[in-house]
Structure 1
Amino acid sequence: MKTIIEPFKIKSVEPIRFTTKEERKEILKNAGYNPFLIHADDVLIDLLTDSGTSAMSSEQWSGIMKGDESYAGAKSFYRFESAVKKITGDKFIIPTHQGRAAEKILFSVIGGKGKYFAANTFFDTTRANIEFTGAEAFDLLNEIGKHPEIRAPFKGDMDVDALESFIKKYGRENIPLVVLTVTNNSGGGQPVSMKNIREVSAICKKNNIPLFLDACRFAENAYFIKLREEGYQNKSVLEICQEMFSYADGSTMSAKKDALVNIGGWLSLNDEELAMKCRNLLIVTEGFVTYGGLAGRDLEAIAQGLEEVVDEHYLQYRIRSIEYLGEKLISNGIPIIEPPGGHAIYIDAKRFAPHIPVDQFPGQSVTCAIYEEGGIRACEIGSVMFGKYDKNGKLIPAMMELVRLAIPRRVYTQSHIDYVAEVIIEVFKNRDKLKGFEIVYEAPMLRHFTAKFREIN
């Protein structure tokens, strides 16, 4: 059949509140034109993030009741550990309360001034945790990934020539780690090919530099490999996942994405000495080594989610539902990163609102307009999130100016997505009326979470 249906039935529902456009104008103003500061009750459809916003399955809720809350050595930890090892093959599994906690521990141990890290593209918390130690983070995205309008199967790949040059420039002894983000979130949710993972791994091994996966959306990446890369059509998603991790020396993971849970994460490693250092820091900051800031019930839910996420009926529905929204927007002339990625649609704000200069944050403007028009909360991924200032205080813009519509897993129906498309199409029709913004308050790091803005008339 041509119709791809949700591979689940809805067993429980949550009401959502409707607001008027006039109410939303006032809500935006009171929130300093920052969607992060809007109360969730005032959001009709929430596409701010796909992190921790999934609907859990009946089996996961059953696992919640079976959670072993023993402080040390809980049986729920060993189920969690076994599930992570089955996918990653890594020797040492350290639970954390979410992905950025794993990043904080890892980079606190191996980072510091005079250290340099490379990735296809670092996401916001990863970059912040690196820079917090005094180290520097560099994005080495392949050239085609920098062009939203060009279609290619693996736009999340790292530029391997740039990686070789990076190692020569900074010296292998000053590079503690290379990271591949799968899928590439900041690059539009675009997948990384197995070929690229192998090539990056080979370069790292040659230079004795560990390779880690930022594995938040590992299953979605594996499904793209199955669909698009020669030689993988007849392999299971689990087999593809296992091969991906086999080329890496460890991973950081936000289980709030592809483990289909509301909280949790892990740090997985094969280096025993590094694992010991990370576990020591875990105990100081997160909790004992068999719970790491999580309740036993959370560990149970993650273990079950890891079984469900590699189901190909689920992944077919997941990827197709994202593609469905992308096709509706493209057919109405709305510029997005093409082809649609794994967990979100990314509107190209530069082409959506070309009259707004980069230093007036076109992505923030489009994001606010989408909320005002239809109560939909999205997220700017551009110069608000990634822009920096030079020594004269002038903005150094981000690589791209994007608006991310991140779709929570197993939460919204096709009619919700049709409504999202209708709202964005309406905003696009009136895009000439959009105004730029200036920042009136910003924190020194991760400013997008708490910044406040003013419209420029």
Structure 2
Amino acid sequence: MPLVLTSAMAGRGAARCGCIMPRPSPLFLMSILIFVLMLRDNYIIFPVRYFISIFNRNAKKTKRIKEMANVKFYAGESFPLEMHKVRIIQKLNLIPVEERGKAIAAAGNNTFLLQNRDVFMDMLTDSGVNAMSDRQLASMMQADDSYAGSETFTRLEKSVKNFFGCRYFLPAHQGRACENILSHAFVKPGYVVPMNYHFTTAKALITVNGGLVEELIIDEGLKIKSDNPFKGNIDIDKLNEVIGKYGVEKVAYVRMESGTNLVGGQPFSLSNYAEVSKICRDKKIPLVLDASLLADNLYFNKKREPSCKNMTLHEIVLKYAELSDIIYFSARKLGFARGGGICTNSNELFLKMRELVPLYEGFLTYGGMSVREMEAIAVGLDETLDEDMISQGPIFIDYMVKELDKRGIPVITPPGGLGCHVDAMSFLDHIPQNQYPAGALGSAYFIASGIRGMERGTLSEQRDADGSEHYSNMELLRLALPRRVFTLSQVNYAIDRLVWLYENRRLVEGLRFVEEPRILRFFFGRLEPVSDWQSKLIAKFRKDFGDSL
């Protein structure tokens, strides 16, 4: 049964005619008005630019916003308030629980392999699936698709340089493409890359090039429950120890990941980053910032770090850039579009990476990106400096985490960015790690809800060199909340189904591989349940919910 859970205003204004003389329709009058305005502003030759100019005028108004809208409710309750309106919708379908069971089985119990037509709410990731703004969509109409010397690239380059305050910019098609270039340029066999915490593709590309990864996140960062506002901080003592252990000459670079992806989307503080930068500058080691989740990190800097309270978002960004040697980002996250890039102020580092872009990505004025996406990124970066834009993810995540926590569901606290992270190790404490509890929870949750989450646990790790399993520090089911995509009622649905599953968690058992790729197995590996537990879960759902979807 199809469901549509969002709504939009329908357009009005059908043309009408009189019996004797035709009566001008609203559409005709609007066309005349636009023609006059274009003529006035000398846009008659390039009408598309006129509409772009209107959106650019609105953009100037956006820059005046300094603080997130402060809205209080008379009744005293608190919940997220959308600071946008819905104008385009996409129909969703919630298939019956029996069909969900068949779908997850056909996908090899890997949510990455589910067909989107079988998914009700896609909470797999926020990568490339955030809602774009009207300004972004309008900007795509002026794209210049020249192979070289594109005006679109010029606009993107200007936007990136303004955003980060950097001298040099290299385009790439997404974040892992940037990681590939960095690894090829700086990692050699036996080199080490210290970092607060690894990301799957970053680690894989470093190790493929013969390097090692050292994770130096503070101890608090690996605790499920905590009130530490910056669990993504790097441990300064551990960093000094690792540099001393390997020697400066063996440290390829130090990597700091904003909004640590695999341990609950936890931010780091600007003050901690400054400490790391000082060590790197003193020892002449490049400091690399993965800014893919910078928008969330900026929000938390502003809200949780006293020294950032009176800084504008752009001032915080520029401070991070000043402390960094290289910044790279996935624009599938930062900028709400699809693409990426690398920034630096060092001509030496720029030249070392530049030749790899045409080799792996494409010419220097597109880097594997669509020109329309490049236009959208240019606008998206500008909108990232608007607190009412970047707050939409964190405030919805905060709501979901706190509601689940109140109901006794084990989740990562404090709420971070990217999504709500469920502790599968506690949720399914009867399943051993070698049966992938986070993967089993993801499979069970899809059956219970039609919601696709992502396993962020041992399945997402790669085996050790001897073939033994490398157990993850955490077993998490990540329920991503793409920005400006889901309504509050949909979030409440996600909470409701997770509460039901928790009450029936003893029905859930583990998974085992039937097809295991050697690299990045979580993307396309296939698994099967260790018993017929899924059919029992479906039967219990039908008993409790009757004929409900």
TM-score of the superposition, structure 2-length normalised? 0.81
What CA distance in whole angstroms lies between the structure 2 residues aligned with 1:87 and 1:122?
A: 25
Match of 2:442 among 367, 370, 373: 367
What CA distance in whole angstroms lies between the structure 2 residues aligned with 1:430 and 1:447?
A: 29
Match of 1:422 in 2: 496
What CA distance in whole angstroms lies between the structure 2 residues aligned with 1:18 and 1:230?
A: 45
- After TM superposition, the structure 1 stretch with the greater mean CA deviation from structure 2, 268-277 or 250-259, is 268-277
The one-letter code sitting in structure 2 at the alignment partner of 1:440 is V
Residue 268 of structure 1 aligns to a residue whose secondary structure is strand
Kindly provide the CA deviation profile for residues 100-133 of structure 1, in whole angstroms up to 9, marking residues without a partner as x: 1111111111112111101101111111111111
Matched, 1:433 2:507: yes
Match of 1:102 among 178, 195, 200: 178
Matched, 1:124 2:197: no
Match of 2:302 in 1: 226
What CA distance in whole angstroms lies between the structure 2 residues aligned with 1:223 and 1:455?
A: 40
The within-5 A match list for 1:240-389 is: 240-261=316-337, 263-389=338-464
Match of 2:97 among 21, 34, 55: 21
Quote how far apart the aligned CAs of 1:4 are: 4.2
Cα 1:51–1:276 change in 2 (3 A) is same
Match of 1:397 among 467, 471, 475: 471
Ranked by relative contact order (alpha carbons within 8 Å, sequence separation 6 or more), the top structure is 1
Match of 2:158 among 82, 87, 92: 82
What CA distance in whole angstroms lies between the structure 1 residues aligned with 2:176 and 2:392?
A: 28
Residue 391 of structure 2 aligns to a residue whose secondary structure is helix
Match of 2:251 among 175, 180, 202: 175
The one-letter code sitting in structure 2 at the alignment partner of 1:369 is A
What CA distance in whole angstroms lies between the structure 2 residues aligned with 1:401 and 1:43?
A: 23
Q: Is the CA contact (8 Å cut-off) linking 1:87 and 1:245 kept in structure 2?
A: no
The one-letter code sitting in structure 2 at the alignment partner of 1:295 is S
Quote how far apart the aligned CAs of 1:287 are: 1.1
Say how many residue pairs are matched.
455
Match of 1:184 among 247, 260, 272: 260
Match of 2:117 in 1: 41
What CA distance in whole angstroms lies between the structure 2 residues aligned with 1:246 and 1:443?
A: 41
Residue 395 of structure 1 aligns to a residue whose secondary structure is coil
Match of 1:408 among 482, 489, 493: 482
The one-letter code sitting in structure 1 at the alignment partner of 2:514 is V
Match of 1:55 in 2: 131
**Structure with max Cα Rg:** 2
The one-letter code sitting in structure 1 at the alignment partner of 2:174 is Q
Kindly provide the CA deviation profile for residues 64-94 of structure 1, in whole angstroms up to 9, marking residues without a partner as x: 1011111112121121112111222222100
Match of 2:526 among 444, 452, 456: 452
Quote how far apart the aligned CAs of 1:314 are: 1.9
Residue 231 of structure 1 aligns to a residue whose secondary structure is helix
Residue 179 of structure 1 aligns to a residue whose secondary structure is strand
What CA distance in whole angstroms lies between the structure 1 residues aligned with 2:80 and 2:454?
A: 28
What CA distance in whole angstroms lies between the structure 2 residues aligned with 1:317 and 1:194?
A: 22
What CA distance in whole angstroms lies between the structure 1 residues aligned with 2:418 and 2:482?
A: 8
The one-letter code sitting in structure 1 at the alignment partner of 2:262 is S
What CA distance in whole angstroms lies between the structure 2 residues aligned with 1:230 and 1:247?
A: 19
What CA distance in whole angstroms lies between the structure 1 residues aligned with 2:193 and 2:228?
A: 26
The one-letter code sitting in structure 2 at the alignment partner of 1:304 is V
The one-letter code sitting in structure 2 at the alignment partner of 1:226 is K
Residue 91 of structure 2 aligns to a residue whose secondary structure is coil
The one-letter code sitting in structure 2 at the alignment partner of 1:135 is G
Quote how far apart the aligned CAs of 1:427 are: 0.7
What CA distance in whole angstroms lies between the structure 2 residues aligned with 1:4 and 1:86?
A: 31
Quote the sequence identity (%). 37
Quote how far apart the aligned CAs of 1:194 are: 0.8
Quote how far apart the aligned CAs of 1:388 are: 2.5
What CA distance in whole angstroms lies between the structure 2 residues aligned with 1:151 and 1:20?
A: 40
Quote how far apart the aligned CAs of 1:28 are: 1.0
What CA distance in whole angstroms lies between the structure 2 residues aligned with 1:9 and 1:396?
A: 45
What CA distance in whole angstroms lies between the structure 2 residues aligned with 1:65 and 1:200?
A: 42
Q: Is the CA contact (8 Å cut-off) linking 1:252 and 1:268 kept in structure 2?
A: yes
What CA distance in whole angstroms lies between the structure 2 residues aligned with 1:314 and 1:256?
A: 16
What CA distance in whole angstroms lies between the structure 2 residues aligned with 1:234 and 1:316?
A: 17
Match of 2:516 in 1: 442
Match of 1:203 in 2: 279
- After TM superposition, the structure 1 stretch with the greater mean CA deviation from structure 2, 263-272 or 424-433, is 263-272
The one-letter code sitting in structure 2 at the alignment partner of 1:433 is L
What CA distance in whole angstroms lies between the structure 2 residues aligned with 1:394 and 1:115?
A: 23
Runs (4+) of structure 1 moved beyond 3 Å?
Answer: none
Quote how far apart the aligned CAs of 1:384 are: 0.4
Q: Is the CA contact (8 Å cut-off) linking 2:329 and 2:342 kept in structure 1?
A: yes
The one-letter code sitting in structure 2 at the alignment partner of 1:425 is V
What CA distance in whole angstroms lies between the structure 1 residues aligned with 2:400 and 2:480?
A: 11
Residue 230 of structure 2 aligns to a residue whose secondary structure is coil
Match of 1:149 in 2: 225
Quote how far apart the aligned CAs of 1:167 are: 0.3
Q: Is the CA contact (8 Å cut-off) linking 1:47 and 1:408 kept in structure 2?
A: yes
What CA distance in whole angstroms lies between the structure 2 residues aligned with 1:41 and 1:405?
A: 18
Residue 294 of structure 1 aligns to a residue whose secondary structure is coil
Quote how far apart the aligned CAs of 1:50 are: 0.5
Residue 264 of structure 2 aligns to a residue whose secondary structure is coil
Q: Is the CA contact (8 Å cut-off) linking 2:462 and 2:520 kept in structure 1?
A: no
Matched, 1:164 2:262: no
